[in-house]
Amino acid sequence: MTALAGLLAQILNGIQYGLLLFLISSGLTLIFGVMGVINLAHGSLFMIGAYLAYVIASVTGSLWLALPAAILGGVLFGALLERGLFRRFRAREHLDQVLLTFALILLFEEARAALLDNQFHSVPVPAILDFSVPVIGGFAYSAYRLAVLVICLGVAGLMVLFVERTKIGSAIRAAAEKPEMVDLLGIDAGRIHTLVFAAGTALAMLAGALAAPLQSVYPGMGDGFLILSFIVVVIGGLGSIAGAFWSALLIGLIDTLGKAYVPQAAGIAVCALMAVVLLWRPTGLFSRA
């Protein structure tokens, strides 16, 4: 019985991890799909969100303020990055885009080191969620983790509603699926790009802020998530929100179960899954191509 309870607890962990991964990769897939820009610094945006949460939580004592701050800050920062930098690099070759965003990673890390320090910092869980809910088999689940799960699901639902039901949403979908259609439809591509980049940045920073109490903040904390979110995008298919959602859940579960039962193979298992998908459907599971 304990083995089964353990497995259920692991599945819950996997879903929670996968949902966090979805927040990061949904922005990434839209930015790729709509703008055609590769952004290796996406993991750094996650790191920036987490450090923002750490700073706000230690100054004001409340993590709740950090969540809207991460969203607002992300929108502003994203718009700024798009207008100031990425817009100019859309027409550049991949080599330039890769190196430019690699330089951003280095500079963001250096800025973090200069503004704060290089220490690990733990971020306290908000007081009202600082308790544990007994789940199964003697294992308790922290209320904050459950809250993160609910918030992520809520954000995912809002995104689907926005993309599927609103006019701007359908313009974004059109841009992601058939970029050549945008001009024909008379949509202002520049504004769509700024919007998408801002939203993607905000989502990554929100994910970072939510994750801060779960995994502490530390230098290079975005690296692991960057690779995983790239894999999510490859498996899910470029520009597909639904694809990002399901493949993020899949990767979250495989990564978590792998770490629990075959710890040395977890990193490789995820990549092997991607290899299989590439063999079977080179454009991802959810692409319409």
Partner 1 sequence: MRPLSRRFMLAGSAAALATPAIAQGAPLKVGLMLPFSGTFAALGENIAAAFELCLQENGGKFGGRAVTLVRLDDESDPAKAPANVNRLLGRDNVDALVGTVHSGVVMALVQAAREKEVPLFIPNAGNVAATRDLCSPSVFRSSFSNWQPAYGMGKALAARGVKKAAWVTWDYAAGRESAEGFRDGLKSGGAELTQILTLPFPETNFQPILAQLPGLGVDAVGSFFAGGGAIQFVKDYAAAGLRDKLPLCGSGFLTEGVLKPQGAAAEGIQTALHYGDGLDNPKNKSFREAFQKMTNRSADVYAVQGYDAGQMLAVGLAGTKGDATAIKALGAAIRAARIDSPRGAFTLSASHNPIQTIWLREARNGENRVIGAAAEALADPGTGCKMA
Partner 2 sequence: MTLTGARGNLMLALGALAVASMPLWATPYHMQLASTALIAAMFALSLQVLVGGVGLVSLAHAGFYGLGAYSVYLLGLPKLGLSVAVTLPAAILLSGGAALAIGALALRTKGFFFLMATLAFGQMLFFLFHDTPLGGGADGVFIQRPPIGITLSRGNRPTVLLLVNLGTLTAMYAALWWLMRTLFGRALLGIKANEHRMAAMGHDVQGLKLAAFTVAGALAGVAGHMAALTDAFVSPELLGWHRSAEALLMVLLGGIGALHGPILGAFALTLVQEAGQMLTERQRLVEGGVILAAVLLLRHGLAGGRGR
- 117 contributes a contact to partner 1 by CB under 8 A: yes
139 binds, among partner 1, partner 2, none (CB under 5 to 8 A by kind): partner 1
Contact residue for partner 1 among 76, 94, 111, 122 (CB under 8 A): 122
249 HSE (CA, 13 A, CB side)? 12
Contact residue for partner 1 among 36, 124, 169, 179 (CB under 8 A): 124
Q: Report d(CA 23, CA 211) in Å as an integer.
A: 11
- 86 contributes a contact to partner 2 by CB under 8 A: no
Query: Which three-class secondary structure string do you get for the chain?
Result: CHHHHHHHHHHHHHHHHHHHHHHHHHHHHHHHHHHCCCCCCHHHHHHHHHHHHHHHHHHHCCCCCHHHHHHHHHHHHHHHHHHHHHHHHCCCCHHHHHHHHHHHHHHHHHHHHHHCCCCCECCCCCHHHCCEEEEECCEEEEHHHHHHHHHHHHHHHHHHHHHHHCHHHHHHHHHHHCHHHHHHHCCCHHHHHHHHHHHHHHHHHHHHHHHHHHHCECCCCHHHHHHHHHHHHHHHCCCCHHHHHHHHHHHHHHHHHHHHHCHHHHHHHHHHHHHHHHHHCCCCCCCCC
- 115 contributes a contact to partner 1 by CB under 8 A: no
Closest approach, Cβ 128 to partner 1, in A, equals 14
- 281 contributes a contact to partner 1 by CB under 8 A: no
Closest approach, Cβ 189 to partner 2, in A, equals 18
Closest approach, Cβ 106 to partner 2, in A, equals 4
43 binds, among partner 2, partner 1, none (CB under 5 to 8 A by kind): none
- 262 contributes a contact to partner 2 by CB under 8 A: no
Closest approach, Cβ 271 to partner 2, in A, equals 4
Contact 63, 213 (CB under 8 A): yes
- 246 contributes a contact to partner 1 by CB under 8 A: no
Residues between 25 and 44 that touch partner 2 (CB under 8 A)? 32, 36, 38, 40
Residues between 75 and 114 that touch partner 1 (CB under 8 A)? 113
Using CB under 8 A as the criterion, which residues of the chain lie in contact with partner 1 when the complex forms? 2-3, 5-6, 9-10, 13, 16-17, 113, 117-122, 124-125, 132, 134, 137-142, 144-145, 214-216, 218-219, 224, 256-257, 259-260, 263-264, 266-267
Residues found near partner 2 in the complex (CB under 8 A): 32, 36, 38, 40, 93-96, 98-100, 102-104, 106-107, 109-110, 113-114, 227, 230-231, 233-234, 238, 263-268, 271-272, 274-275, 278-279, 282-284
